[in-house]
Amino acid sequence: MENQIKTFYSKNWKDYEMLDTGAGEKLERFGKYTFVRPYETAFWKKTLLGNGWEKADGKFFSTKDGAKKGWKMSQKIDQFEMDYLGIKFYAKPTSFRHLGFFPEQASHWELIENDIKNSGRKIKFLNLFGYTGVASLFALRAGAEVTHLDASKESIKWAKENQKLAGMSELPMRVIVDDALKFLEREAKRGNKYDAVIMDPPKFGRGPKGETWKIENDLPKLLQAVRKVLSSDPILVILTSYSIDSSSLPLGYAIEEAMQGLSGKIEVGELCINEKTKNRMIPLANTVVWEKN
């Protein structure tokens, strides 16, 4: 693995923009709405003044703001549609400050679709911690047989709604509510294999039966379990983390160890969004990509 940090970003967003950042916040446009959300490492001053920030449709307050945690809206905002490269999905403000997807992951969506299309064969795709399933939709459109897993019943319901909105209800997507580690252990015993796996594990979480997840303790177990369900000829493994702030390199070393014996290349880096005001890259998550040579 080369010790070089890559910037992963997409130039293809139309329904989303990062308008400005600064003073611990980010100003974003999702479709016709603008929102202010915390971005604690924005140590610099805001570029836009006045109306750009003050006229946002909603602002999320964290406990650090000294206000009641949650959204303060200028109007009621229900679920609304987003589009990325022809795939439609739903967005809405959630209690966790997110809007049901992560715009910075768009470059991975493109990579998933391209690698599956270019494989020249039927791919079995596993989306662990799959959330609302946007990445799964790109795998589906590429022709993969998809297994989408999350411990949250609400997220799984949302993923099914996204599949329907995208017009892909008839395509093969197995949607499962389960604990990721327990699911992988059962799949290994059954002999089920996957050609592509993506995972976005949280820092802390609970499975549907109260199982506890802590990334510091459980990430090595997760990667070992993933390796056991990989096919003999995998094409893609993606690991993304919003909970390791220091660098993507430790994640890269972990993937390098887990993928020993398989011929592939590893790229480590940061998922970024290009900020409109100053045309600079804003890093939002660490990520590692393993691809077949």
Residue range 125-160, pLDDT digits in tens: 999 999 999 999 999 999 999 999 999 999 999 999
Same domain, 270 and 140: yes
The number of C-alpha atoms within 13 Å of 175 and in the hemisphere containing its C-beta is 23
Task: Indicate whether 120 and 75 sit together in one domain.
Answer: no
Residues 107 and 75 in one domain: no
Say yes or no: 272 and 133 in one domain: yes
Q: Are residues 211 and 261 in the same domain?
A: yes
Q: Which residue has the tokens 């909603």?
A: 58
Cα–Cα nearest to 133, from 91, 163, 107: 163
Domain hosting residue 23, numbered range: 11-83
The amino acid present at 178, given as its one-letter code, is D
Looking at the domain assignment, is residue 25 inside a domain? yes
Domain final position from 83, 111, 131: 83
Pick from 154, 216, 218: which is nearest to 180 by CA? Answer: 218
Q: Are residues 110 and 226 in the same domain?
A: yes
Domain end marker among 30, 49, 83: 83
DSSP string, the chain: ----EEEE--S--SSEEEEEEETTEEEEEETTEEEEEE-TT--S--SS-THHHHT-SEEEE-GGGTS-SEEEESS----EEEEETTEEEEE---TTS--SS-GGGHHHHHHHHHHHHHH-S--EEEEET-TT-HHHHHHHHTT-EEEEEES-HHHHHHHHHHHHHTT-TTS-EEEEES-HHHHHHHHHHHT--BSEEEE---SEEE-TTS-EEEHHHHHHHHHHHHHHHB-SS--EEEEEESS--S-SHHHHHHHHHHTTTS-EEEEEEEEEEEETTTTEEEEEEEEEEEEE-
Q: Say yes or no: 69 and 110 in one domain.
A: no
pLDDT of residue 27: 98
Please tell me the predicted confidence (pLDDT) of residue 212: 73
Mean pLDDT value of segment 96-118: 97
Q: Are residues 277 and 157 part of one domain?
A: yes
- Sign for the CA dihedral angle at 234, 240, 245, 248 comes to positive
Identify the CATH number of the domain in which residue 147 sits. 3.40.50.150
- Whether residues 128 and 197 fall in one domain: yes
CA distance 272 to 105: 8
User: How many domains are contained in the chain?
Assistant: 2
Question: Comparing 74-88, 95-109, 190-204, 222-236, which segment has the lowest mean pLDDT?
Answer: 190-204
Quote the pLDDT of residue 244.
66
Do 124 and 247 reside in the same domain of the chain? yes
Mean pLDDT on 6-16: 97
User: What pLDDT, in 10s, does the model give residues 19-30?
Assistant: 999 999 999 999
Q: Which of 99, 131, 129 is nearest to 211 (CA)?
A: 129
153, 246: one domain? yes
Express each pLDDT in 42-53 by its tens digit: 999 999 987 789
188 domain residue, yes or no: yes
Identify whether 89 is part of a domain. no
pLDDT at residue 291 above 90? yes
- Domain co-membership, 65 together with 140: no
